[in-house]
Amino acid sequence: MISQKMADRINLQINREMFSAYLYLAMAAKMTNLGYTGIARWLTVQYHEEMFHAMKFVRYLEDQAAEVKFDAIAVPAFKENDPKSLFQHVLEHERWVTASIREIMELAMAEKDFATQNLVQWYIDEQVEEEKNAMDILQTIDLLGNTPQGLFMLNIELGKREPSIPLDYTKI
């Protein structure tokens, strides 16, 4: 059993994770338009990762017999149309998600909600990985001099990304 306040906060996070998925899907479409199909693949895999994050919270609410509420998902607005500035946006977005996850942990600690603390620790660890992924790509872009040739190579490399999570959400 979790508090109503916690259920509401987790429902908000489900919305934020789905917004993240929507944002990365929109970014993938933009990169495809620009010919960066490998980067688009990386972003599409990231879309699936975000849906996994959302669905993991959904399952948790269900397991706790709390109501799942799906709210409207915001328009994924972004202006970037080159890989470097796009991944800077990705990094900023992930830092925002990290702060949001920390809020849930702070609430769980204040409420002595040990089950939610245990769950959210997974997301805390995941956010270290999420930020690192974006920082690594930005570092690679800088090492390659942010040149057309370098971005061409990066595009090939990122196109090799495979999902590391189950795509069948009934298995979460």
What the block records as the tokens of 146 is 């942010």
Q: Which residues contact 20 (CB under 8 A, 6 or more apart)?
A: 50, 53, 93, 97
Residue 17 in contact with ligand FEO, rule: CB under 6 A: yes
Among 18, 97, 107, 120, binds ligand FEO (CB under 6 A): 97
Q: Does 50 bind ligand FEO (CB under 6 A)?
A: yes
State the Cα torsion 57-62-68-74 to the nearest 10°.
20
Min dist. Cβ of residue 90 to ligand FEO (A): 8
One symbol per residue from 113 to 132: x for binding ligand FEO (CB under 6 A), - otherwise; what is it?
-----------------x--
Question: Cβ of residue 38: shortest distance to ligand FEO, in angstroms?
Answer: 19
- Which residues are within 8 A (CB) of 114 and not within 5 positions of it... i.e. 6 or more apart? 108
Q: In the bound complex, what is the minimum distance in angstroms from residue 132's beta carbon to ligand FEO? A: 11
Look at residue 44 and give its three-state secondary structure: helix
| CB neighbours of residue 85 within 10 Å | 12
Residue 133 makes contact with ligand FEO by CB under 6 A: no
List of residues contacting ligand FEO (CB under 6 A): 17, 20, 50, 53, 94, 97, 130
